Amino acid sequence: MKNNLYSLPLIGDTAPTFTAKTTNGFIKFPDDFAGHWVVLFSHPMDFTPVCTTEFLSFQSHIHDFQKLNTDLIGLSVGAISSHLAWFRSIYNEIEFKNLKNIEISFPVIADMDLKISKLYGMIHPNTSDTKTVPAVFIIYPH
């Protein structure tokens, strides 16, 4: 059994701050999202079936999230180039529950150095030192 070197933020904790490269450019969190709720979610890797349907579902409801003053941010340890290739694949090749030709517009973080994954406790110490586990954080406005 490996030691858990990373702690998971708990309900009521202040969300850890970070800067990151995303598919929509650099972000400074939480400053760039001040006054908004945020749903921060991770997935283990690009091009996986479950993660793809998750992205399609999130994107199909983006206007509902916006009406609720909520922004979406995805995270993967993959590179921006991989994320963008995956987005093209989603747009050109994937149909799920009558969703097709969906363009992913929310930012997806490239966490190649695992900095953010570690800040948020997204690395399961008994499973992997290099892949995030699926996680969802709902962060209230500051």
Catalytic residue chosen out of the listed positions 15, 51, 110, 123 = 51
| 109 DSSP assignment | E
Q: Classify residue 132 by burial, with Cβ atoms within 10 Å: 0-12, 13-18, 19+.
A: buried
The bridge status of strand 18-22 relative to strand 25-29 is antiparallel
Nearest to 33 by CA among 17, 57, 48, 44: 17
H or E element in which residue 82 lies: helix 80-93
- Of the CA atoms within 13 Å of residue 44, those in its CB half-sphere come to 10
Does residue 88 have an active-site annotation? no
Question: Taking the mean position of all CA atoms in its chain, how far away is CA 106?
Answer: 9
Beta strands in 33-141 (DSSP E): 37-42, 70-76, 95-96, 99-100, 108-110, 135-139
- Active-site residue set: 51
